[in-house]
Structure 1
Amino acid sequence: MSEDSWSAMQLKLAVWSALLLAVRAEQTCDYARYGVVPDVVATAPSVQLDVTFSSGEAAHCGNELSPESTLSPPKVQAPVDPAPFYTLLHVNPDAPLVAPYLHWLEVDIPGSGLRQGDISAGSTEATYRPPQPFPGAGPQRYVYLVYRQPARSAGDSLATDEETELRYFFNVTGYAASRRLEGPVAGNFFLEQLG
């Protein structure tokens, strides 16, 4: 294959990927139907966050995923403004005794990286903890939210694996207000349960 043919094929693939991402972004979730609004946030995000796990399973507005498929952090992607920084939150508003529970918190994610599905340039405030639904409690909601930051954060870490109690009773709205975050600008959620 010639270099020109290869370049043309790469360009077509990039255009199709961008179009697919734009179409997915316009398909917003029904957050009120599942109680994400008002249980987690007061207003629903206007853009759908693409959340895809290495297992190939993906969050899609309340679909049910298996616990085995969500053991590792997912790839997250959204058609956001590439210039500013963003914060990614993953919470479970249904965790027995400690709800809402913070599963993951990344800050200072460049918009250009989030657009490409690469959040590695961000900073981890709370490492990823996989969903662990309580046996017999029925489906639990696992919510991903992206907020726009007014500026790069000061770098103070919220929680580590040793500071589990900081993840308990996590107030998404309070956290967003304390950091002057805008949004949520993107989001998605899925359900998970154990027999």
Structure 2
Amino acid sequence: MHEALKKNPSFEYLIHFVNDDVCLRSSYSLECSESRKRTNLTESLGKGRYEILELVGSGASSDVYRARRLSDDLIVSLKEVHDYQSAFREIVALQVLRNCPNIVGLHDYFLREDEDAVLVLEFLRTDLAAVIRDAEKKGGGVRFGEVKVDAMLQVLCGLDACHRNMIVHRDLKPGNL
């Protein structure tokens, strides 16, 4: 059992289920083929510490932006989560999984005045869905071989780390990998 659970057993229900919020990290470094428009956001999203560069994606419960941390120019993802409880579960899960090389890294987090939580995450330049789309555009799709096996091993290692820590992903799909 993880140390956070030993200290406070009430955390167990918080990290047992994570909706679509724990991203499994892949070593792919391909650029997303789809260009996205630069967003015009209020300073409160980045708390004056981040420059918002573009909207990466939006969903029912969160919006994700590519941003630059002003203190050191590090490119990060800012994930604005609209449900505080979901954000708290994700933060706890990412802290539990912080040493796993196949799980996206959590750098920081903060609350906005409107009670949305903002997670500062490692920026991943693509996902498995984009890799598959790009391969299909080039003709033939993703071929069986070393790359496919390597990608699957990375996914399984990340998933194993989740399960060993009593975390269930619940939304495992190429767009979240």
Q: Which has the higher helix share?
A: 2
Higher relative contact order, structure no. (Cα contacts within 8 Å, ≥ 6 residues apart): 2
Q: Which has the higher strand share?
A: 1
TM-score, normalising length from structure 2?
A: 0.30
TM-score, normalising length from structure 1?
A: 0.28
